[in-house]
A and B are shown apart, each in its own frame.
Chain A
Amino acid sequence: MGMTKFLIRRLMTFIPTIIGVMLITYIIAYVIPTDPVRAWVGGEKLLNPEALEKVRHKYKFDAPWYEQFSFLVISLFTGQLEDPVRHKLVVQELSYRFPITVEVAIFGFIFLVLISIPLGIISALKKDTPIDFFVRLFALFGSSMPSFVLYYFLILALFVYTRTTYLAGVPLPSTACMNMIASYPESIPVLGHIAFYIGQVPMFGAMMCGEWDVVVETAKRFYLPGLALGLLGGGFIARLVRNSLLDVLSSDYILFAKARGLPKTWIWRHALKNVLVPLVTVLGIQFGGLLAGAIIAETVFNIPGMGRYMYDSIARLNFPAIISGAFLFALIYVTINFIVDIIYALIDPRIRY
């Protein structure tokens, strides 16, 4: 089948992308003029050349670059790579941070969709009216607003004055619940593994155990960053929905359907299906961007997610962490692209691979 062949070929092109991302990250790290080891070890150890030498040897700084690079990659894949600043396995740190970013991304995505699609449809239907103009302005405001200023004022309105949210900590399900999820892969053959990974996201884990108060707390904690991200990106996507809907509605086959007197719901079904094609790409890219961690939102809203982790790691020249993060980002980018390709093939009958 052509489709499978195409997808396999697409998968193959992802491999150089991932390796390239890691290699470029490594090169950036390698050309840096300062000694990263001195940035990692703090305090008294800095005065002890033996300790420095030990760390240097552990991360193969005394070996040639290819050995160093392959050491980083291999130990990342076997899960043995240690974060030299936090003295934890990098895999552990990522498995704590990434689910939190996923939660923020999900809330951001929900608000993005809730804001953009209705606005887009309304402004397409009421083309060239004040509503349409307002949506256009809203889109322009969203892309001109300095994000941190918007965050400050949302915090002011929804936290400082009304206390509808809070800005510290991350709600986690109870230990019993986590243990239950951890036992899934053993008890259930295949689905157990999937359930285990989904359950790593605190909100979904809590849902699985029925701890609804944790879910509510999570929503309370993360709706604000989600709303902020939705406000910033929503107008842009609303414009996209509007433009593609207008394109579709003025196309010949819709006119034909109208002329034949097909019921309105039918016409809408045809129209919306064709609007989906460009929308899926943009939403996919947006979701991928959110998964990479909104660094500024995480800084302002005090969320210990991926973006913050990367930022801290870069500031401490923490290369093992940076390379692992780069690998994760590349993986997300590639996966999202792959999923978008598949969805394309499913919803657009014109595309035949």
Chain B
Amino acid sequence: MDVIYRALCFIIDLFTSFMERIRPGWIERNKSKIDEWKLMAYAYSKSPIAVTGGILATITVILALFGPLIAWEPYWQYKVVVNPDLWLKPPCLPPSCSGYPLLGTDEWGRDIFSLIFYGYRISFIISVMVVVLGVPLGVILGLIAGYKGGYVDEVIMRLTDIFMAFPGLVLAIAFATILPQRIRGLLDASPQLKDFLLWIFALRPQEYGQLAALLSIFLALVLVWWPTYARVVRGTVLSVREQTFIEAARSLGLSTWRILIKHILPNILSPIIVFATFDLATAVLLAASLSFLGLGPQDPVPELGFMISKAGRFFPERSWWIVVSLGIVLLLIAFGWNLLGDGLRDILDPRTRRAIEVRARAKARAKAAKVKGG
């Protein structure tokens, strides 16, 4: 655990020296902030849940970034055409059946192990896009509603109510059914965007029809994502707004935007970060659920939910390994984010962070005393 603390401190030092280089005197001015960061790093390294989550999340990110490069078999090669033996081949260890894939194959004879690496990329990119787009949208609307109050508040809150009254998955299905055609038109209009998106999803240019399906899932999720954030943020803003320091800022004549961004947002940031981390997990699972229902990309695209739904047809005798291995992948991605979020919640909340520190210090002291005594 000490290694992690040192590594985090190194990153913090790197960042502060970088800031010092751009703006001289930055370290001096932000001394207390840096100390707090180091305390957070300490609390983090002492929380096994947060550390496990961090490791899993790092693995997810690394596999998502480099997965398609690692994958040794292109996902579009249907090997079963050449070698019928590969049709839903169960997994087995090398001595007994060397030459065959370790984790078995799917019904096109593709190596499941290799497909997993593509799947990581797609799931990760979708979840990150949903959170990166959906959360700020909700936060901004919530900030405006909470700070402005009155008529604006009423309109935004009724809108969130409307979106929340509709079960998220149903709304997402509706959008995912309707959107692909529009998105395809949009992609046709701007080839650069199309190429960029194909590149980040690691898909071939031929799959751009499937890309529209993926994007429609993503847009559908964004559209059902923001209301929760808008509501939570509005609630917090309402309580922060009445405090004296905001009143002071207002009487100094600061603009509304400046107050919102500089003074209110930092006060509500830590719960938002925690929620967003949890939501990365939820987004991965929801995107997989939508493509499980057949609304996402179709065949050659190695989307995890879609591959599981295909395997469901042969379940369990002829496809249990697909469901197990891809299910574990989805579980690991979501579990990593959830663990990280759960750990971060303890660390970012000053009360529980204090408790973690005190406990860790007491343990260290007891250990030192024992060494001395022995």
Contact = CB atoms under 8 A, between A and B. Distances in A.
Given A28-B175, A146-B288, A140 B335 contact: yes
A333 interface: yes
Contacts of B16: none
A25 B181 CA distance: 18
A149 B331 contact: yes
B289 A148 contact: yes
Given A16-B158, A140-B339, A314 B174 contact: yes
Given A33-B181, A149-B327, A152-B312, A329 B175 contact: no
Contacts of A242: none
B182 A33 contact: yes
A133 to B, nearest CB: 9
A156 B162 contact: no
A310 B169 CA distance: 10
Nearest to A334: B165
Interface string A306-337: 01001100110100001001100110011000
A333 B161 CA distance: 9
A72 to B, nearest CB: 16
A33 B181 CA distance: 8
A147 B285 contact: yes
A20 B163 CA distance: 9
A144 interface: yes
Contacts of B181: 33-34
A315 B165 contact: no
Contacts of B73: none
Contact of A307 (B170, B278, B330, B334): B170
Contacts of A317: 177
Interface of B: 49, 158-159, 161-167, 169-170, 173-175, 177-178, 181-182, 278, 281-282, 285, 288-289, 292-293, 305, 308-309, 312, 315-316, 323, 327, 330-331, 334-335, 337-339, 342
Interface in A19-50: 20-21, 24-25, 28, 31-34
7 contacts: A17-B165, A28-B174, A140-B339, A144-B338, A146-B331, A149-B323, A314-B173
Interface residues of A, number: 47
Contacts of B338: 140, 143-144
A329 B173 contact: no
A144 B158 contact: no
A31 B177 CA distance: 12
B166 A146 contact: no
Given A17-B158, A140-B339, A149-B327, A329 B165 contact: yes
Contact of A141 (B170, B305, B335): B335
A310 B168 CA distance: 12
A293 interface: yes
A136 interface: yes
A19 to B, nearest CB: 9
Contact of A293 (B162, B167, B331): B167
A155 B169 CA distance: 23
A326 B166 CA distance: 7
A164 to B, nearest CB: 17
Contact of A20 (B159, B170, B289, B330): B159
Nearest to B315: A152
Nearest to B177: A314
A299 interface: yes
